[in-house]
Structure formats: structure tokens, C-alpha cells
Homo-oligomer: A and B are copies of this chain.
């Protein structure tokens, strides 16, 4: 049906899901299978922002669009569908005119928002160091 909502490969690179592979005996090898599945969603920038935006309560479609400066309608739709599919967000339609649709984190989504916010916090606190490192690196490798 909708090509928009079914990009054939919402999934991971083939290598990620390999139930045929045994969990690596190497203790240094973090078990990618599974972790990867969730990280691929968190790995999506827009998803992370939406989760952060929703962490303090339900929001409407255009409300989210305005809050996440720069996201296109298309990407917001795709992102929300992905989150809904993963059970992280609920979609509630109010059959009013004009229509109104609220998005809200599920319990699962709220749980995820905690480590995500921790990440965001770390990001804010260390942004300066990272930007300094980038500048330095770029200078040395090109001057």
C-alpha cells in the first residue's frame, strides 16, 4: 500500500540480525543482536528528538513539527509511525473538525526516555570539549 509507511527496509543491515550466529563466546564481544535492534531506532536522530519532546506530555502533530525545528512533515510522519510500531508511542485520533491527533509516550517509551535524556545531558555538558577536539583535529589534518 503506502510506500511512505512501508519503505521496504525499515530494518537493520542484514548483518545485524543473525539468529543463526551463536552468541559470541568472546567475553569482549557485546551481544549485538538485540541491542542493535533498539539502537537502530535510537540511532535515528529524529526519533530521539521526538522522544525528548514527548517526555513531558502528549503533543499534537504540528506542535511536534514546530518544536523540532527543521524536520519535514514527511520525516515526522515516518518517525512517529516507527515509534508507534515499536510500541514507544501511542497515536490518538480525535474525530473533530479539523482533526486532531495526539502522540504520547507509552510506559515503554517513557522508560526509554530516561537513558536517552541521560545521553542528552551528557551531550550538553561535554559539547565544548567535543567541539574543541574537532577544531584541533581539523587543523592538524589540513592546516
- A26 within 8 Å of B (CB atoms): yes
**CB <8 Å contact, A13 and B118:** no
Q: Write the nearest CB–CB distance from A119 to chain B, whole angstroms.
A: 4
A29 adjacent to B118 (CB under 8 Å): no
A39 within 8 A of B: yes
User: How far does the Cβ of A58 sit from chain B's closest Cβ, in whole Å?
Assistant: 11
Interface size of A by Cβ–Cβ distance < 8 Å? 69
- CB neighbours of A31 from chain B (8 A): 124
Question: In the docked arrangement, what's the CA distance between A38 and B133, Å?
Answer: 13
Copies in the complex: 2
- A28 neighbours in B (Cβ, 8 Å): 53, 56-57, 59, 67
Chain B residues with CB under 8 Å of A126's CB are: 38, 108, 111-112
Q: Bound state CA distance, A123 and B34, in angstroms? A: 7
- CB of B86 within 8 A of CB of A21, answer no
Bitwise, A27-53 to B at CB < 8 A (1) or not (0) is 011111011111110111100110011
A119 to B112, CA, bound (A): 8
Whether A15 and B71, one on each chain, are in contact in the complex, defined by CB atoms closer than 8 angstroms, is: yes
The CA-CA distance from A115 to B120 in the complex, in Å, is: 9
Listed in ascending order, the chain A residues whose CB lies under 8 Å from chain B are 1, 5, 13-16, 18, 21, 24, 26, 28-32, 34-40, 42-45, 48-49, 52-53, 56-57, 59, 67-71, 84-88, 108, 111-112, 114-116, 118-124, 126-127, 129-134, 136-138, 141-142
